[in-house]
Amino acid sequence: MRIIFLLIMWVLFVWHSFSYIFWVHSNQSNAVDDILQFESQFWVKNKIVGFIFDTFETGDLNFFQKQVNLLGKDRIYHISISPFGYTAKEVLDWAYDKEYKRFFSFVKKNNLKVIFRTAHEMNWSWYSWSGNPEDFKKMWQRVYKLSRDEGLTRENILFDFSVNSIDLPKWKNGRMIVCNPWYKKISNCLSFEDYYPGDKYVDIMGLTLYNWWRARSKYWAYWRSFANLLFDKKTKIFYRLKKYWKPIVIDELWTTAVNFSGKWSFSKVLNSYKYNYYWKNQWLKNAAKTLKQIPEIVAVVYFNKDKTNWFKNPMVWELDWSVFNYRTNKIYTGVLDLYSNQSGKLPFVPTKQEILAKYVDIINKFVKFYSMADIEKIKKVKQKLELLKNNKQYSVLVEYLIDLANGFLSLKSWF
């Protein structure tokens, strides 16, 4: 019975002791020079590095190979590749096969560990793959199958079902509406749940969160803390994601530094952008404190892209997104608090050798128990192991223990 207890304790450890990993996206051009410089300056390492590719042509592959060469293969790569311009039905009918296969083949060849994010934020109506949940689900399942056809498994790739924190479908007259849970009940509008392709095809639930502060003049652009965004009382987004019983990753986290009182003006925005360090640093520190209390969130990405173009062609609402940028020489050290908890675990399936090496003590205790047990006890324990065998999280260890049990049964039958 002791071995069963140890196995159960192991499963509880795997599933309930998550703490988040923090990482950042590469910069606007997908280069990683800022990341490497930041790591060197502050003695931190991004266990995961994010990339967003609007296409994945041969040139993208060659560029990505160079970035992998710079970063090394001991990291996890968070990759967003989406079929921009294609509907879910078109992708289902092979419109984007070449790009997907090119990427999956690259991952297999290089033996990378990848969080794969595709057709993201399907619950926002303006993406080409949105609007038809049934086509979307079939498309997702087909892309998943393509990864398996290229020889990938959960040892290399985790499929990330990444939603926006707000469900924003089109109304019949073309007017954009927010499909909050209460409104869905009376209008049957679309929400991310309608697009969910099934547990078999999803490894991670993803989420994007943005704090606009007063960078925009809209009435909804106001200061919101990380906790206020995550636990939004209207959307209930976090609690809805939790219902799927899968690890949660914040795929894009973002805050501007732009905050001020009084009437909105562009001059106030620019002044705040140039001089307001305190509020953004404080926002990052508070986010770190909140995250430490949420074991369901296993990883967080900061969307480290500055789209201001250094004010040559300013997009007012995208000012000051990055937390470090060595071209503008702006570094928010509050982000270091987010690096303070780097013991997170992502649900990649480890190799058989990794599992067995990690649980040498359990195996030794198992062997000792069997060497002293009689045949009837061995058979009872073996039956209980068989019941646990279907859980993929520890099937390799269980199968190994069953093999050991069979060996002991064969040996004892001689005496």
Q: Does 377 lie in the same domain as 231?
A: no
What is the pLDDT, as a whole number, of residue 106?
A: 97
- The rounded distance, in Å, linking the Cα atoms of 405 and 36 is 49
Q: Does 373 lie in the same domain as 246?
A: no
Higher pLDDT, 45 or 357: 45
Find, among 305, 192, 211, the residue nearest to 259 by Cα: 211
Q: What is the DSSP letter of 2?
A: H
The predicted model gives 3-10 an average pLDDT of 41
With b for 16 or more beta-carbon neighbours within 10 A and e for fewer, the 113-151 pattern comes to: bbbbbbbbbbbbbebebbbbbebbbbbbebbbebbeebe
Among 293, 313, 339, which residue terminates a domain? Answer: 339
Which amino acid appears at position 240 of this protein? R
CA distances 345 to 203, 249, 319, 342, 354, Å, are 13, 11, 33, 9, 14
Q: Does 234 lie in the same domain as 126?
A: yes
- The rounded distance, in Å, linking the Cα atoms of 404 and 366 is 9
Q: Does 404 lie in the same domain as 274?
A: no
Residue 205 lies in a domain: yes
Residue 318 lies in a domain: yes
Domain containing 104: what range?
Answer: 18-339
Residue 94 — very low, low, confident or very high, per pLDDT cuts 50/70/90?
Answer: very high
Residue 6 — very low, low, confident or very high, per pLDDT cuts 50/70/90?
Answer: very low
Q: Does 245 lie in the same domain as 177?
A: yes
Residue 51 lies in a domain: yes
Higher pLDDT, 382 or 211: 211
Q: Does 365 lie in the same domain as 278?
A: no
CATH number at residue 30: 3.20.20.80
Question: Tokens 């490497």 belong to which residue?
Answer: 36
Angle 154-156-161 (CA atoms, 0-180°, nearest 5)? Answer: 60
Q: Does 88 lie in the same domain as 52?
A: yes
Among 308, 339, 370, which residue terminates a domain? Answer: 339
Overall residue count recorded for the chain in this entry? 415
Q: Do 285 and 336 form a contact (C-beta atoms < 8 A)? A: no
Q: Does 358 lie in the same domain as 290?
A: no
Find, among 330, 397, 405, 346, the residue nearest to 370 by Cα: 405
Residue 277 lies in a domain: yes
Q: Does 373 lie in the same domain as 265?
A: no
- List, in order, residues 6 or more apart from 219 with CB less than 8 Å away: none
End-to-end CA distance of the chain: 24
pTM of the model: 0.80
Residue 345 lies in a domain: no
Among 290, 314, 339, which residue terminates a domain? Answer: 339
Q: Does 304 lie in the same domain as 254?
A: yes
What is the pLDDT, as a whole number, of residue 14?
A: 36
What percent of the chain stands above pLDDT 70?
Answer: 82
What is the pLDDT, as a whole number, of residue 181?
A: 92
Show the DSSP H helices in 33-76 as ranges: 33-42, 58-71
Q: Does 362 lie in the same domain as 334?
A: no
- The rounded distance, in Å, linking the Cα atoms of 22 and 51 is 15
Which amino acid appears at position 342 of this protein? Q
Number of domains in the chain: 2
Residue 5 lies in a domain: no
- The rounded distance, in Å, linking the Cα atoms of 150 and 154 is 13
Residue 12 lies in a domain: no
Residue 317 lies in a domain: yes
Task: Lowest mean pLDDT of 26-35, 44-53, 331-340, 355-364, name the range.
Answer: 355-364
Interval 150-200: pLDDT, tens: 999 988 999 999 999 999 998 777 778 899 999 998 888 999 999 999 999
Q: Does 305 lie in the same domain as 386?
A: no
